[in-house]
Structure 1
Amino acid sequence: MKKRAITRALAAMCALVCTVALAGCGADEEGKIRIGIKFDQPGLGFKKSGTYVGFDVDVAKYIARELGYSEDEIIWKEAPSAQREAMLQNGDVDMILATYSITDSRKEVVDFAGPYFVAGQDLLVRADETEIDGPEDLNGKRLCSVTGSTSAVTVKEQFADEVQLMEQPGYAECATALFSGIVDAVTTDDIILAGLASAARGQLKVVGQPFTQEYYGVGIKKGERELAARINDAIEKMIEDGSWQRAIENNTEGTDYSPDPDYNPPVPTEGEE
């Protein structure tokens, strides 16, 4: 705890003096911090009438504030999944919070702080669905996932090899197919599905039987261990003061979703020695 107190004091001091403490992040304007998020994921990272909303956005704002930045000192950058590593390596952003799962292969080229959330792959179905209670009920059913996603592969390999798969370019398109009855279920991380369900205003629901674990981290440039420690301190504080839970509830409002209590809230230790 002494080490954490020291790093917090250093963070506050450096934020007051200049942006040198984040020199490794490569802020392109003095007093600004650039954060990568998704722009198209309801409930997580969503661009709405020139503003940005979602759980990832709320976590990012909290971290930025603990690092000494106000909301108007945040420059939001869209961080598509395939471009996240390059954006960090090239110094386009200082950090990324975009449903960014911590994996060994990614850690070869970037570092992470966190995790700040542990998602689990789940299913989204229509609100009146009674036959699908988990992935084992998908044999003979029509399932939608995003092109190139490993989610549908997991279902076919582990649970239902007779599932009929439809691939779409995004989960919004999958949700539309579910609305219209073209498919019976959509699969990806549970909190992404909860965001879609919230946007659907009670017409869709998350089954609530997660069957994988995805540890969402804050992506940072390789070697930024001091920054990782400071971000971890901020995540810990967000969990302790109740802001983390409120962010979950606000961004999944209208659904019965709750994070898997076996894994949430997580202990943020990634990136520290």
Structure 2
Amino acid sequence: MSLHRNLKSSIAALALLGAGLGFAAPANADAVVDIQAAGKLNVGVFADFPPFSSASSDMSLKGYDMDVAQAIADALKVELVPVAVTGQNRIPYLNDRRVDLLMSVGYSDERAEVIDYAAAYAPYYIAVIGPAAADVTEPADLAGKSIAVNKGTLEDTSLTEAAPEGTDIKRFDNYNSVIQAFISGQTDLMVVGNDVGASVLAKQDEMKPEQKFQLLSSPSHIALNKGEEALKTAINDTIAKMIEDGSLNASSQTWLKVDLNPENLKD
């Protein structure tokens, strides 16, 4: 059986697991008590979101999000159970207590009305990426440079706002085209999110691409249900410990291919 078919089967199985985790718990339940009584922490993750979470060669989910989720499960002394979610169903899964928490959730006032947020744990930002030899450190340096960007995205909007007159912005229909234009030399630079950029930083040894500067930062949080203060404390304590002992930076180096900058964890 091909890896692609195995991957589809794995994701489907995770989705079925998410659908059958049970009914909503009573409103006055303590999540930590329930989690430890069950012996497992059900964590909602995107099943195909590298480098934060995606299926590895053995079909288990690996990535930055999975490292952090495992650390939280270890702190609670329970088994980690990843549950595949989508952008559309993950908030209902959390509110219905099909999962105990969600990874990779950006903060918004609208979401804050129905869910709670633990501390930011993952940097998410839009960055200008270029060869190590390119002298680019700020928006003014983009003048006279050609830059690839995915048309109509937040990256496009951010670049258009920051770019000075004389910048040659080349817009493409998808990220693969953006990356290809950059690595083939069609453009001097590219603008992508750090999730997309991580794959380029990892694979282009000859070019030695690097992040030049950020255009926009919006860190990811772990989401949980409102009123679960004990669980929120456990999550925040775990993140603080990972920052202090260097394990979060090690995960960033492994998956995001850059050192973790604590400034990138600020909204």
TM-score (norm 1): 0.69
Alignment partner of 1:75 is 2:93: no
| 8 A contact 1:197–1:203 mirrored in 2 | no
Change (3 A) 1:166 1:77: same
- Amino acid aligned to 2:62: V
Tell me the secondary structure at the aligned position of residue 109 of structure 1.
coil
Tell me the secondary structure at the aligned position of residue 105 of structure 1.
helix
Within 2, Cα distance between the matches of 1:164 and 1:156? 8
Give the match for residue 65 of structure 1: 74
* CA-to-aligned-CA distance 1:33-73 (integer Å, 9 cap, x gap): 32223344433222222122222221111112112223xx4
Within 2, Cα distance between the matches of 1:24 and 1:112? 19
Matches within 5 A, 1:121-200: 121-125=126-130, 127=131, 130=134, 132-139=136-143, 141-145=146-150, 149-160=153-164, 163-169=168-174, 171-172=175-176, 174-190=178-194, 192-200=196-204
Question: Percent same amino acid at aligned positions?
Answer: 23
Q: CA RMSD in A?
A: 3.6
Matches within 5 A, 1:1-273: 21-22=30-31, 30-49=38-57, 50-70=59-79, 73-80=80-87, 83-98=89-104, 100-125=105-130, 127=131, 130=134, 132-139=136-143, 141-145=146-150, 149-160=153-164, 163-169=168-174, 171-172=175-176, 174-190=178-194, 192-201=196-205, 203=207, 205-253=209-257, 257-260=258-261, 263=263, 266=265
Unaligned runs of 5+ in 2: 1-28
- Amino acid aligned to 2:101: M
Within 2, Cα distance between the matches of 1:246 and 1:215? 18
Query: What is the number of residues matched between the two proteins?
Result: 236
* CA-to-aligned-CA distance 1:145-194 (integer Å, 9 cap, x gap): 3x65322201112334655352445x455324433445543323446523
- Amino acid aligned to 1:97: M
Within 2, Cα distance between the matches of 1:22 and 1:151? 38
Within 2, Cα distance between the matches of 1:103 and 1:92? 22
Change (3 A) 1:237 1:258: closer
Within 1, Cα distance between the matches of 2:78 and 2:192? 33
Change (3 A) 1:120 1:106: same
* CA-to-aligned-CA distance 1:6-31 (integer Å, 9 cap, x gap): xxxxxxxxxxxxxx74389999x943
Of structures 1 and 2, the larger Rg is shown by 2
Give, in angstroms, the shift of residue 229 of structure 1.
Answer: 1.6
TM-score (norm 2): 0.70
* CA-to-aligned-CA distance 1:94-141 (integer Å, 9 cap, x gap): 22222x32232331232211111344421223x366265444444562
Give the match for residue 14 of structure 1: none
Give, in angstroms, the shift of residue 231 of structure 1.
Answer: 0.7
| 8 A contact 1:25–1:93 mirrored in 2 | no
Change (3 A) 1:96 1:66: same
Change (3 A) 1:104 1:24: farther
Change (3 A) 1:68 1:132: same
